[in-house]
């Protein structure tokens, strides 16, 4: 696999995970928390200390093979693509993202949504209720 192929695969996985986070959350989410949740889902070594024993066991069953090796330029490319295709909607005034009306083609069933549920649950325990 070439570095270019790996970059596109990584960005595709990040895009699907971000949409899964927003879809599972069910309402607009502050951009900073959506980014943090997505980061925890794809670079999960940061998430493990936040999990209960039950969640940790579930995570081990559903996790992918390894962290994606997220790079800073991936965020900009993924978010620009998702906004441009109206798969996420950004409210600049409120500082939130929500699932866009054209996000349906992105398949998030399975591990992306299961990861999203675990991550959002962990964040709700560690952040204020209003944050998410």
Q: For 40-90, what is each residue's pLDDT tens digit?
A: 888 877 888 888 888 888 777 766 545 666 676 788 899 999 999 999 999
Work out the mean pLDDT of the chain and round it to a whole number: 84
Domain that holds residue 70: 3-131
CA distances from 112 to 29, 41, 64 (A): 17, 8, 10
Quote the pTM value: 0.83
Return d(Cα 32, Cα 1) in angstroms, integer. Answer: 32
Per residue in 93-122, pLDDT (tens digit) is 999 999 998 888 888 888 889 889 989 998
Q: Which two tokens stand for residue 118?
A: 């675990």
Number of separate domains in the chain: 1
Return d(Cα 26, Cα 4) in angstroms, integer. Answer: 33
Centroid of chain to Cα 75: 11
Residue 132 has pLDDT above 80, yes or no: no
């Amino acid at each position: 696999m070439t570095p270019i192929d790996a970059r596109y695969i990584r960005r595709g996985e990040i895009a699907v995970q971000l949409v899964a986070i927003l879809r599972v959350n069910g309402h607009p989410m502050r951009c900073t928390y959506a980014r943090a949740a997505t980061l925890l889902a794809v670079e999960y070594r940061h998430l493990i200390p936040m999990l209960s024993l039950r969640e940790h066991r579930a995570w081990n069953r559903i996790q992918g093979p390894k962290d994606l090796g997220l790079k800073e330029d991936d965020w900009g490319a993924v978010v620009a693509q998702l906004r441009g295709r109206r798969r996420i909607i950004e409210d600049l005034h409120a500082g939130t993202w929500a699932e866009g009306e054209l996000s349906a083609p992105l398949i998030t069933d399975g591990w992306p949504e299961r990861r999203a549920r675990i991550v959002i649950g962990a964040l709700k325990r560690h952040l204020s209720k209003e944050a998410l």
